[in-house]
Chains A and B, each alone.
Chain A
Amino acid sequence: MTLPLQDPQLAVDAEGQPSTRSGFFRTVLRERKAAVVGLSIIGFFVVLSIVAPYISPYSITQQTCAVYAPPSGVHWLGCDDGGIDMLSLLMQGGRISLVVGFAATLVAMIIGGGVGILSGYFSGWIDVGLMRITDYLLVIPDLVLMIVIADVWGASLFHVIIVIGILEWTSTARIIRAQVMSVRERVYVKRTRAMGASNARIIWKHILPQVGPLLIANTVLTIAIAIYLETALAFLGLEDPTVTTWGTILENAFQRTAISSGAWWAIVPAGLVIAAVIVGCFLFGQAVEDALNPRLKAANLSVRRWRLRPLVGRGPDAI
């Protein structure tokens, strides 16, 4: 996790591009097709979620067709066990899934960014203390702890957001810390300190903008994890039962014997949209991270990829 991450400046300068921050993201989008694809996917689902209530073909609270009616011209993706249109469910379920994903990530980024910056900037016992807490949370199996907390606190949307938020900041904190430690040693930071600037000013004006792109790349990657975990928690029945999310759609289908009824349309489309959003976040986040660290381009096994592979369905955490 302590790969030397190049600062955005150098990455951009090397390609002879203007080195302002907006210029950096513009360069990433221009040079990397994956980033464009990823951002398009994310954008598509965000827009869809916003307009879903106005464009979804049917109500998601009223029965509009037969139980487990197969896909047809009127109901493109068929119906669920209650006779509710699957397409409408998917469109509106995405709203909550994305809100949970974004909100939990916001919590995770505030904690992770804060811990990473404080730890990297101040070093000493602050660093030791914060990093031991980080290590502790890093080695605990996330999903198991989440199940326990969500169960103890009770099933609610807010709890799911907080639980995911307070468990998913650790890798961000480590990456940001490493970057801050290198930025802190830059001469201009020392010059600013010798000038008499306060720590708050140095962090706010010099350190934070420098780690900003890295934080954004991590945010996007964490959104994918958060959406995935939300789905997992919902599938395990730890989500607020009154809301509809992609996870609860899956749970519902599973509980109500969709599989034995052969109603694949109740499961597959929800799985595909979740996969699509996660892939979109990965493509974009990975592209930004690669641009920040040209070494990762050559490596076929980045730390990040290795860490995330089990989460997408292979390792011990997989369901």
Chain B
Amino acid sequence: MSETPLLEVDRLVTRYPVRRSLTGRLAREPRLWVHAVDGVSFSLARGEMLALVGESGCGKTSTAQTILRMVDSTSGSIRLNGTDLTGLSAQRMRPLRRKLQMIYQDPYESLDPRFRVQEAVAEPMLVHGIGGSRAERRDLVIDALERAGLAPAEQFLERYPHELSGGQRQRVTIAAALVLGPDLLLADEPVSMLDVSVRAGVLSLLDGLRRDGDMGILMITHDLSTAAHFADRIAVMYLGRIVEQGPAQDVVRNPQHPYTRALLSVVPHRDPRKRSTPQILQGETPNPVDVPPGCRFHPRCPIAEAGCSREDPVLRPPAAVVAAGHEAACLLA
């Protein structure tokens, strides 16, 4: 791709200090860090949907929080339309936030219970001082609500969140994000709190949005089948790092990293009679405070060899025949 990608994340590291007790501090114990995001690189083009997949605690949400600058990165860069967001002051970050909107997991928590739908969707415009007069803003709100699939919008304007269903609330938060005309939408498990029956609707809405406009979507999920169905590309995260990424279909059909294979083995089949043999990983995810040396997956890896505990693999095209752009961080792939 010749033009600059919409979002380019390069070797991003985010770590949180571990709280030391008073005695620990007095005894000058070394300061420990949780390496939530530990060298993540990826890029996202306009109109593309990238799914960030991984189990809980692997750093998916921390990655999104860092891109949003809700937490500060330790090193690495985040380029949105070529502008590096890391190190920007809050003042200079504010206008850029228009281009960068987030959708949260819990639609029951992400709307202020005292704001009517109209106020909730209009708030981003007031924050950024756009939208013109009250009547013009109202038109923009109606437009955003209808784009988010709440039609006729007039019926929803005066309602409070508690009068809406979970799916409707999530559509309101999507409308509130759309009203600013963002370039990048971060969706943090946008459907995991919703009823199964409305999930598909919200996901197709997001899918349609990025196809219509030139918006890029970074979707965070732990559901590989959703990712495979809607995303263009999948990046699998493990313990703060991307271990495999590539075109969605290829990653799912032809997984190269043993961790991706383990994740895929537990995805249920469409036909309940057809049983797969789930590959249950041994042990827990290691504590991100002390990451295992060498390949961070080797203590749980079913195919690990002696070299795996020494050498830390980087993302590279695997030996097997795969689609272009498919990479895995495994010494044996």
- Which residues of A are at the interface with B, using a C-beta cutoff of 8 A? 9, 13, 19-21, 186-188, 190-198, 201, 205-206, 209-210
Asked whether, in the complex, the Cβ of B113 is within 8 Å of the Cβ of A194, the reply is no
In the complex, the answer to whether A195 meets B101 with C-beta atoms within 8 Å is yes
CB A293 to nearest CB in B, in angstroms, measures: 17
Judge whether A194 and B102 touch: CB under 8 Å: yes
Looking at the assembled complex, report how far the CB atom of B324 sits from the nearest CB atom of chain A, in whole angstroms.
Answer: 35
Chain A residues with CB under 8 A of B114: 9, 19-21, 209-210
Tell me the complex Cα distance, A201–B124, Å. 11
B127 interface contact, C-beta 8 A: yes
Cα distance, A188 to B123, chains bound together (Å): 12
Contact A195 to B160, CB < 8 A, known contacts A186-B109, A190-B70, A201-B127: no
Q: Known interface pairs A9-B113, A187-B109. Does A197 touch B68 (Cβ–Cβ under 8 Å)?
A: no
Contacts of B104 in A (CB 8 A): 187, 190-191
Interface residues of B (CB under 8 A from A): 68, 70, 93-95, 97-98, 101-102, 104, 106, 109-114, 123-124, 127-128, 160, 162, 173, 176, 180
Q: Are A188 and B127 in contact (CB under 8 A)?
A: no
Select which of A13, A194, A198 is within 8 A of B162 by beta carbon: A13
CA distance in complex: A133, B104 (Å)? 38
Give B93's nearest chain A residue, CB to CB.
A196
Count chain A CB atoms within 10 A of each CB in B102, B123, B128, B160 and give the residue with the most.
B123
Complex CA gap A205/B173 in Å reads 17
Chain A residue numbers with a CB within 8 Å of B160 are: 19-20
Write 16 A-B pairs (CB below 8 A) sorted by A numbering.
A13-B162, A19-B114, A19-B160, A19-B162, A187-B104, A188-B109, A188-B110, A188-B112, A192-B112, A193-B70, A194-B68, A195-B127, A195-B176, A195-B180, A196-B93, A205-B112
Secondary structure at the A interface, as helix, strand, loop or mixed, is: helix
B113→A196 contact, CB < 8 A: no
Q: Of B112, B128, B160, which is in contact with the most chain A CB atoms at under 10 Å from its CB?
A: B112
The residues of B that contact A20 with a CB separation of less than 8 Å are 114, 160
The winner among B98, B102, B106, B127 for most chain A CB atoms within 10 A is B127
Contact A19 B113 (CB under 8 A): yes
Known contacts A195-B101, A196-B93; 7 further A-B pairs (Cβ under 8 A): A21-B114, A194-B68, A194-B101, A196-B94, A196-B95, A196-B127, A198-B127
B100 (CB) vs chain A CBs: closest residue: A194
Chain A min CB distance to B1 (Å): 28
Question: Across the interface, which residues of A come within 8 angstroms of B101, CB to CB?
Answer: 194-195
B130 to chain A, nearest CB (A): 11
Name the B residues within 8 Å of A186 (CB-CB): 109
Closest to A199 in B: B90
| A residues in contact with B123, CB < 8 Å | 192, 195, 197, 205
Q: Which of B106, B110, B111, B128 contacts A196 (CB 8 A)?
A: B128
When the two chains form their complex, are residues A196 and B98 in contact, meaning their CB atoms are under 8 A apart? yes
In the bound assembly, the distance between CA atoms of A77 and B123 in angstroms comes to 60
Cα separation A209 to B112 with both chains bound (whole Å) = 10
How far is it, in angstroms, between the C-alpha of A210 and the C-alpha of B93 when the chains are bound? 28
Q: Is the CB of A188 within 8 A of B102?
A: no
The 8 closest A-B pairs by CB, nearest first: A196-B97, A187-B109, A187-B110, A9-B113, A197-B127, A188-B112, A196-B94, A195-B124
With A13-B162, A201-B127, A206-B112 already in contact, the answer to whether A194 and B70 are too (CB < 8 A) is yes
- Cα distance, A107 to B97, chains bound together (Å): 38
- Give the Cβ gap from A26 to chain B, nearest Cβ, in Å: 15
**Residue among A19, A196, A201, A209 with most chain B CB within 10 A:** A196
